[in-house]
Amino acid sequence: MNPSDTIAAIATPPGEGGLAVIRISGPSALAVADRLFRPGRVGPSLAGVPSHTVHHGWVTAGEERVDEVLVTVLRGPRTYTREDTVEIGCHGGVLVSRRVLETALASGARLAEPGEFTRRAFVNGRLDLAQAEAVADLIHARTTRSARVALGQLQGHLSGRINEARDSLMLVLAHVEAHLDFPDEDIAPETGRVLAARMEAALGLVRGILRTANEGRILRHGLRVAIIGLPNAGKSSLLNRLLGEDRAIVTPIAGTTRDTLEETASVRGWPVVLVDTAGVREGADAVEAEGIRRARIAAGRAELLLHVVDAARGWTPADEALRGESRGTRTLVVWNKADLGFVASSEGIAVSCLTGAGIDALRDRIAAAATEGMETSDGDEIAIGSRHRDALTRGSDALERAIAAMQSGVPLDLLALDLRVAAGAVGEVVGKTATDDLLDAIFSTFCLGK
Ligand SMILES: Nc1nc2c(ncn2[C@@H]2O[C@H](COP(=O)(O)OP(=O)(O)OP(=O)(O)O)[C@@H](O)[C@H]2O)c(=O)[nH]1
Ligand SMILES: [Mg+2]
């Protein structure tokens, strides 16, 4: 991670496509580009053209033409990394894009590490750490809601609240530290009250942010939903319905599904990890019995169970036993095969996987389960990740200690210590305090070229 290096990578996904983009960033980006680029018509070298302009020509390796390209010249600091950047749009072939990259490497650039462009954007102050993480969240988002929250975080919604809390802690800390220099003077009661109120307000902010952790987890990893029930109830049919595609095998033979099958669906914008399982019954052969064992594991790991019942067959003792196994997990009883005609029971929801009746209502119920206990914020919606949750939990613990200390007249140096811990932990979210190890851990999860 040497900032004086000029780095290069293919920024588009591997594989064949219409275009590929090779990104070059660093102090010699323009010099590197000039070495490999021959303009389509006579003109100045790329080093001489205005910023934010596009140029047609050829990438050449020695005398050989590698590809016909469009080159975008972007001079820092108005770039993603804040450094001079050149983006080469070439044909989207695996070999072609690879050769353009190799030409850039032969012309003086070094291959970028995963996430290195974004890491430079962070180091150069273009993004804070929460915003940099939002870039990865946005790239990985698989539902509209996940993408919207990631975009909000990229725009600084979370950072704004974090900075507000941290700023007010720093103010209190400055005040307390000033008093440390004059140990004989106590903080005046009036001032003490103002400082305590400020800490309370900061704690309120931090707690408010912490309450979005559950939503953040679901938006990033999905709500785990296991589809369980007796053989032939229609579990695989339900999976296919919710996915909107023919993913799992459906047959009239009881015991069709053996292995568990996992797919992510978007339900009202929430990512939901649906797990289809083997129907639970006695006297299964060895293969099916293993499937049933896995079904129970999947049910144990799920946050929501869809217990599918063949309505024509009704609620059986085996259903009762299955229900008993998972009392601790939130369960929705799904009465399937409503098209065959039956009297709906009070508990649960009636659907037909055959006709699609009731499926929309079921989606609403799943989405409601995903948001249960969540505050739905109207304004700048935020939903934090696990790293933020851990840091803020440490921060709020220290802040609670500081508030208690302020109230009980504990020595000011101890109060200052807790305040420093609190401000430090809150600051970790936006990377005000970040070790190289932490940055390595975060950016190594990025894709190459980002
Ligand atoms: N009439 C009707 N038949 C359905 C409905 N849903 C599923 N079926 C039929 O019920 C049979 C079993 O469906 P599956 O989805 O394979 O049931 P399953 O619960 O996955 O069964 P196993 O994998 O064996 O445990 C198939 O013949 C489906 O076509 C429905 O809503 N109405
Ligand atoms: Mg099945």
Residue 177's domain is classified under what CATH number? 1.20.120.430
- Residue that finishes a domain, picked among 128, 153, 168: 128
On whether both 16 and 53 belong to a single domain, the answer is: yes
On whether both 86 and 160 belong to a single domain, the answer is: no
Which protein residues are within 6 Å of ligand 1, measured from CB? Answer: 229, 231-237, 250-252, 254-257, 278-279, 336-337, 339-340, 352-354
Distance 249 CA to ligand 1 centre (A): 10
Q: What is the pLDDT of residue 433?
A: 82
User: Backbone phi, then psi, for 308, in 5-degree steps?
Assistant: -90, 130
Q: Which two tokens stand for residue 411?
A: 């020595």
Distance 250 CA to ligand 1 centre (A): 6
Which residue from 227, 240, 241, 250 has its CB within 8 A of the most atoms of ligand 1, so it is best to mutate?
250
Q: What is the pLDDT of residue 310?
A: 95
Is residue 196 situated within a structural domain?
yes
On whether both 237 and 281 belong to a single domain, the answer is: yes
- Residue that finishes a domain, picked among 96, 128, 160: 128
On whether both 123 and 136 belong to a single domain, the answer is: no
Which residue from 309, 313, 353, 362 has its CB within 8 A of the most atoms of ligand 1, so it is best to mutate?
353
Is residue 114 situated within a structural domain?
yes
Q: What is the pLDDT of residue 132?
A: 96
Q: Are 394 and 211 in contact (CB under 8 A)?
A: no
Q: Give the atom of ligand 1 at the shortest distance from the alpha carbon of 279.
A: 25
Distance 310 CA to ligand 1 centre (A): 8
Distance 254 CA to ligand 1 centre (A): 9
On whether both 52 and 70 belong to a single domain, the answer is: yes
Is residue 438 situated within a structural domain?
no
Which residue from 232, 290, 307, 340 has its CB within 8 A of the most atoms of ligand 1, so it is best to mutate?
232
Which residue from 237, 257, 263, 276 has its CB within 8 A of the most atoms of ligand 1, so it is best to mutate?
237
Question: CB within 5 A of ion ligand 2: which residues?
Answer: 235-236, 256-257
Q: Output the domain CATH number for residue 21.
A: 3.30.1360.120
Distance 149 CA to ligand 2 centre (A): 35
Q: What sign does the CA torsion over 289, 293, 294, 296 have?
A: positive
On whether both 315 and 395 belong to a single domain, the answer is: no
Q: Whose CA is closest to atom 1 on ligand 1?
A: 337
Is residue 185 situated within a structural domain?
yes
- Residue that finishes a domain, picked among 371, 395, 413: 371
On whether both 398 and 424 belong to a single domain, the answer is: yes
On whether both 91 and 18 belong to a single domain, the answer is: yes
Distance 245 CA to ligand 2 centre (A): 15
Cβ neighbors of 281 (< 8 A, separation 6 or more) are 230, 231, 254, 255, 292, 318
The pLDDT averaged over each successive group of 10 residues in the chain (450 residues) is 89 94 98 96 90 97 95 97 98 96 97 96 96 95 93 96 95 90 76 89 95 93 96 97 95 94 94 96 91 95 96 93 93 94 76 96 93 65 94 97 88 91 96 89 89
User: Backbone phi, then psi, for 173, in 5-degree steps?
Assistant: -60, -40
Is residue 393 situated within a structural domain?
yes
The pTM of the full predicted model, rounded to 2 decimals, is: 0.86
Range of the domain at 426: 130-212+381-431
Is residue 171 situated within a structural domain?
yes
Q: What is the pLDDT of residue 42?
A: 82
Q: Give the atom of ligand 1 at the shortest distance from the alpha carbon of 254.
A: 24
The ligand with the least distance to the CA atom of 280 is: 1
On whether both 297 and 412 belong to a single domain, the answer is: no
Is residue 398 situated within a structural domain?
yes
Q: What is the pLDDT of residue 188?
A: 79
On whether both 124 and 137 belong to a single domain, the answer is: no
* Location of structure tokens 């036993």: 321
On whether both 161 and 200 belong to a single domain, the answer is: yes
On whether both 241 and 342 belong to a single domain, the answer is: yes
Domain count, the chain: 3
Q: Output the domain CATH number for residue 272.
A: 3.40.50.300
3-state secondary structure string, the chain?
A: CCCCCCEEEECCCCCCEEEEEEEEECCCHHHHHHHHEEECCCCCCHHHCCCCEEEEEEEEECCEEEEEEEEEEECCCCCCCCCCEEEEEEEECHHHHHHHHHHHHHCCCEECCCCHHHHHHHHCCCCCHHHHHHHHHHHHCCCHHHHHHHHHHHCCHHHHHHHHHHHHHHHHHHHHHHHHCCCCCCCCHHHHHHHHHHHHHHHHHHHHHHCCHHHHHHHHHCEEEEEEECCCCCHHHHHHHHHCCCCCCCCCCCCCCCCCEEEEEEECCEEEEEEECCCCCCCCCHHHHHHHHHHHHHHHHCCEEEEEEECCCCCCHHHHHHHHHCCCCEEEEEEECHHHCCCCCCCCEECCCCCCCCHHHHHHHHHHHHHCCCCCCCCCCCCCCHHHHHHHHHHHHHHHHHHHHHHHCCCHHHHHHHHHHHHHHHHHHHCCCCCHHHHHHHHCCCCCCC
Q: Whose CA is closest to atom 8 on ligand 1?
A: 234
Q: Whose CA is closest to atom 32 on ligand 1?
A: 337
Is residue 364 situated within a structural domain?
yes
Residue type, 156: G
